[in-house]
Homo-oligomer: A and B are copies of this chain.
Amino acid sequence: MQSTSLMWVSALSTVACAAVACDPATLSDPLPSWNDGAAKTNIIDFVEQITDSSRAEFVPANERIAVFDNDGTLWAEQPMYFQLAFAIDRVREMAAERPEWSTQQPFAATVSGDREALSGLTEHDIVEIVTTTHSGMTVAEFQAAVAEWLATARHPRFDLPYTALVYQPMLELLDYLRANQFKTFIVSGGGIDFMRVFVEDVYGIPPEQTIGSMGELAVEMRDGTPLLVKQPGIDFVDDKEGKPVGIARFIGRRPIAAIGNSDGDLAMLQYTASGPGARLMVYIHHDDAEREWAYDRESPIGRLDMGIDEANTRGWTVVSMQRDWNTIFAFDAPQVP
Contacts and interface: CB of A to CB of B under 8 A. Distances in A.
Contacts of A267: 219, 226
Among A12, A228, A248, the one with the most B-chain Cβ atoms within 10 Å of its Cβ is A248
Given A62-B200, A244-B226, A250 B219 contact: no
Contact of A1 (B12, B206, B224, B252): B12
Interface in A262-311: 267, 270-271, 273-274
Nearest to A183: B208
A139 B196 CA distance: 28
Given A207-B253, A251-B208, A244 B270 contact: no
A225 interface: yes
Contact of A270 (B139, B225, B241, B252): B225
Interface string A245-262: 100111111000000000
A210 interface: yes
A253 B270 CA distance: 31
Contacts of A1: 8, 12
A153 interface: no
Give chain A's interface residue range (CB within 8 Å of chain B): 35 or more
Contacts of A253: 207-208
A139 B207 contact: no
A60 to B, nearest CB: 11
A228 B249 CA distance: 10
Contacts of A271: 225-226
Number of copies: 2
A210 B270 contact: no
A248 B208 contact: no
B219 A245 contact: yes
A249 B270 CA distance: 25
A8 B228 CA distance: 46
A217 interface: yes
Interface in A139-185: 139, 183, 185
A170 to B, nearest CB: 21
A270 B225 CA distance: 6
Interface in A208-236: 208-210, 214, 217, 219, 224-226, 228
A121 interface: no
Interface in A1-35: 1, 4, 8, 12
11 contacts: A139-B248, A192-B249, A192-B252, A196-B252, A207-B251, A210-B252, A219-B267, A225-B273, A226-B241, A226-B244, A228-B245
Given A225-B271, A225-B274, 18 more contacts: A1-B12, A62-B200, A62-B206, A65-B208, A139-B248, A183-B208, A185-B208, A193-B252, A196-B252, A207-B251, A208-B253, A217-B245, A217-B249, A219-B245, A226-B267, A228-B244, A228-B245, A228-B248
